[in-house]
Amino acid sequence: MKTRITELFSIEHPIIPGGMHYVGLAELAAAVSNAGGLGIITALTQPTPEHLAAEIRRCREMTDKPFGVNLTFLPAVKPPDYPGYVRAIIEGGVKIVETAGNNPQKWLPPLKEAGVKVIHKCTSIRHALKAQSIGVDALSIDGFECGGHPGEDDVPNFILLPRAADELKLPFVASGGMADGRSLVAALALGADGINMGTRFIATKEAPVHDKVKAAILAATELDTRLIMRPLRNTERVLANPAVERILAKERELGDRITFQDIAPEVAGVYPRVMQQGEVDAGAWSCGMVAGLINDIPTVKELIERIMAQAEQIIRERLAGLLDGRL
């Protein structure tokens, strides 16, 4: 399958994993790239730019295919060493970067000068238009269904994607609720050029997370996620657990008076405990509604091949058959 995304990034299949904290390591990135997608290393999982440089080298030992790095720009009292991370990406020879969070404009000149293509993650059309105007190469459009941060507009992909197709000139991938060949065909029909999957890739054999995390996703349904941090306007979709219920109780009690410090015990520094140690109730961790569509833990290669085969079957047989009058 050829789309504007496969052509832009020189990949076989229009499938990309999202940047995922303590998930986007070299093992998963290489597996996705080797299977024909575009693997992504999550930069800020690495504590320093030097650690990121080592992770990039480790990924190169596992694949000779294109892969990218996710770099999320977050507001912080003491921000990460963003110049160092950008330098590690450029010096590591990475030619694709997925940016997210704050406006990446400040960092585009050094990336562009090094020949890096930038795909920026957006949750609204207005943000996507802004990103297009500053010179990114592609966009990831995140619908309300997605795990992690869906923004504050609450627009699902059946509306957001065709709106993006109407407004944008750049290629874009659909993110949020993507799990299989049906997702891919639907995204293409709505105007996207590929799909971005997060939660679905966590439930694969190569995902470097504890088996209890994968089991929790398999056990979940589409009704088992919650939205937290809405009063802080930093909404996050997470898997329901006792820690999440405590956050929601605090939000109900404190309302607009709530601060990050009030929920810090349930959100600060929990990812290593969850993802590496399997303490799935230790705090809040991102999970999409797509958990309701996840019923197995395949290899990455099996998953991507299955998605592409199902997509082709739907397009060539079901949809073409409907046009031909075959039910």
Instruction: Please tell me the distance from the alpha carbon of residue 217 to that of residue 214, in angstroms, as a whole number.
Output: 5
How high is the pLDDT of residue 10?
Answer: 98
**Spatial CB neighbours of 31, under 8 Å, sequence gap ≥ 6:** 39, 62, 204, 206, 299, 300, 301
Residue 122 predicted with pLDDT over 80 = yes
Residue 105 predicted with pLDDT over 80 = yes
C-alpha pair distances (Å), 165 with each of 2, 22, 74, 92, 124: 18, 32, 27, 34, 12
Residue 25 predicted with pLDDT over 90 = yes
State mean pLDDT over 78-102: 97
Summarize pLDDT for 151-195 with one digit per residue, the tens.
Answer: 999 999 999 999 999 999 999 999 999 999 999 999 999 999 999
Q: Please give the structure tokens belonging to residue 313.
A: 């079957």
Architecture of the 4-205 domain? Alpha-Beta Barrel (3.20)
Summarize pLDDT for 226-276 with one digit per residue, the tens.
Answer: 999 999 999 999 999 999 999 999 999 999 999 999 999 999 999 999 999
Contact predicate 59/30, CB 8 Å? yes
Residue 49 predicted with pLDDT over 80 = yes
CA 30 to chain centre: 16
Q: In what order do the strands lie in the sheet with 195-197?
A: 15-17, 195-197, 172-175, 138-142, 117-122, 96-101, 67-73, 39-42
Q: What is the mean pLDDT of the chain?
A: 97
φ/ψ of 166, rounded to 5, equals -70, -35
The structural domains of the chain, with segments of one domain joined by +, span 4-205
How high is the pLDDT of residue 78?
Answer: 86
Residue 196 predicted with pLDDT over 90 = yes
**Burial of residue 175 (number of CB atoms within 10 Å: 0-12, 13-18, 19+):** buried
